[in-house]
Amino acid sequence: MFDAKQFIEEQVERIRQEVGAEKAMVAASGGVDSSVTTVLGFKALKDKLTVVFLDNGLMREGEPEAVVKVFKDMGIKTKLYDVKKNFFQAMNNLTDPEEKRKAFRQAFYKSLARIARQLGVRILLQGTIAADISETVRGVKSQHNVLEQIGINPLQEFGYRIIEPIKELYKPEVRQVAKELKLPDSIVNRKPFPGPALSVRVIGEIKPEKVEMVRKATKIVEEESNNFPSFQIFAVLLNDRATGLTDKGERAYGNIIVIRAVDSRDAMTAEATKMPWDRLLKMEKRIISEIPGVSRVLYDLTSKPPATIEFE
Ligand code: XMP
């Protein structure tokens, strides 16, 4: 039986010992994994820890400011960095999902390297969990936060060491630790959101206007699912078009949005959520009327396996 209290004591002590007299930073996204890592780090290091939030232009609406506020309110030193240009440049012209993921990973660690130099820090705490490592090592997907396990030495490549206090846990244990740490319910129960953010939900080339479309659709499906108990619910913009009609009866060759909702315990397997039909229709109506250029909305029925949860 997993003992969250004991785990916290052990990891706080371990972080304290490994960091010693140095300073450290933690890359936070607002998800439960990085939030747990942040609070473990804060317990161990207090003012020697800086929380870094990278605004990569791929987060959900209002997310950067909201996440920074959560940590500032806890009295933790937190800084928001605008690195949108670096990420869009790094992924410019790329269409292959693995190339996009690797470009995202490179932009992520390089941005952190610049910030580490500014802060005079040589240690990064990171909320990588067991599922991230297993999927990357098995070659399913290159997660943005896995390096050493695939033979990349962060100290040589980027100039800092990485400590991963929760790398042996899966999501349910991480949530137990979050609860034990008294993190707000909004974080304890927060649905998973991928590290590469909306970049894995825009199929094909990443362009700011496409990200904006999927950002709006994401907001709509999150609002309309209104705490419906699915493991994840999100929107995806396909790299394809379909014929439709405008409300004036004219031909439109528009974009296609997919709604994906899944039930899962630990993200290793999943099934499509039996989302009530009226909710789906409400989502569809709002997506079509509120997002110009979208002419069709689909619901994904596929389990994992054979599909993965995300599209890329
Ligand atoms: P897949 O798509 O592999 O996703 O079935 C499994 C779970 O992981 C999330 N996901 C990621 N999380 N970095 C992350 O931190 C990533 O690169 C990444 N890719 C997928 C996904 O949302 C799902 O919960």
* pLDDT tens digits along 259-275: 999 999 888 899 999 99
Residue ID of nearest Cα to ligand 1 atom 6: 267
Decide: 57 and 207 in contact? Cβ < 8 Å: no
Q: Which residues are CB-contacts of 173 (< 8 A; sequence separation ≥ 6)?
A: 2, 4, 7
SS3 27: strand
- Quick one: pLDDT band at residue 148, thresholds 50, 70, 90? confident
Cα 17 to averaged position of ligand 1 atoms, centre (Å): 31
pLDDT at 227: 76
Q: In sequence order, what are the residues at sequence separation of 6 or more whose Cβ sits closer than 8 angstroms to the Cβ of residue 135?
A: 141, 143
Percent of the chain surpassing pLDDT 90? 87
220-264 pLDDT, tens digit per residue, is 999 999 879 999 999 999 999 999 998 888 999 999 999 999 999
What whole-number distance in Å separates Cα of residue 220 and Cα of residue 288? 11
Q: Is the pLDDT of residue 147 over 80?
A: yes
Q: Which of 33, 58, 140, 143 to mutate to test the pocket of ligand 1 (most atoms within 8 A of CB)?
A: 143
Indicate whether residue 198 lines ligand 1 (CB < 6 A).
no
Query: What distance in angstroms lies between residue 265's CA and the mean position of ligand 1's atoms?
Result: 13
The contacts of residue 160 (CB under 8 Å, 6+ apart) are 112, 113, 116, 121, 122, 123, 124, 154
Ligand 1 centroid distance, CA of 63 (Å) = 18
Indicate if ligand 1 lies below 6 Å from the C-beta of 273: no
For residues 149-161, give the mean pLDDT.
93
- Residues 49-100: tens digit of each pLDDT: 999 999 999 999 999 999 999 999 999 999 999 999 999 999 999 999 999 9
Mean pLDDT of 21-48: 97
Spatial CA neighbour of 275 closest among 212, 203, 222, 237:
222
CA of 180 to the centre of ligand 1 (A): 24
Residue nearest to atom 13 of ligand 1 (CA): 195
Confidence at 158, pLDDT banded by 50, 70, 90: very high
267 lines ligand 1 (CB under 6 A): yes
Amino acid at 25: M
Does the beta carbon of 254 sit less than 6 angstroms from any atom of ligand 1? no
Asked whether the bond before 172 is cis by omega within 30 degrees of 0, the reply is: no
Predicted confidence band of residue 127 (pLDDT cuts 50, 70, 90): very high
- Cα 61 to ligand 1 centre (Å): 19
Nearest CA to ligand 1 atom 21: 194
Residue 304 CA to ligand 1 center (angstroms) comes to 12
Mean pLDDT of the region 182-195: 91
For ligand 1, say whether the CB of 263 is within 6 Å of any of its atoms. Answer: no
Q: Is 308 in the pocket of ligand 1 (CB under 6 A)?
A: yes
| CA 41 to ligand 1 center in whole angstroms | 23
Is residue 296 over pLDDT 90?
Answer: yes
In what helix (H) or strand (E) does residue 253 lie, and over which residues does it extend? strand 251-263
Burial zone of 149 (CB within 10 Å; 0-12 exposed, 13-18 middle, 19+ buried) = middle
124 touches 165 (CB < 8 A): no
Nearest Cα residue to atom 3 of ligand 1 = 308
pTM (2 d.p.)? 0.92
Query: Mean pLDDT throughout 4-24?
Result: 98
Question: How much distance in Å is there from the Cα of 100 to the middle of ligand 1?
Answer: 14
Q: For residues 110, 115, 119 and 125, what is the CA-based torsion angle, rounded to 10 degrees?
A: -60
Ordered domains of the chain (ranges, CATH): 4-188 (3.40.50.620), 202-299 (3.30.300.10)
Angle separating helix axes 84-91 and 97-119, nearest 10 degrees: 150
Atom of ligand 1 nearest to the CA of 311: 2
Ligand 1 atom closest to Cα of 135?
3
CB neighbourhood size of 199 (10 A): 27
User: How many residues belong to the chain?
Assistant: 312
**Residue 142 has what pLDDT?**
84
Q: Read off the pLDDT of each residue in 270-288 and give the average, rounded to a whole number.
A: 97
| pLDDT tens per residue across span 200-224 | 999 999 999 999 999 999 999 999 9
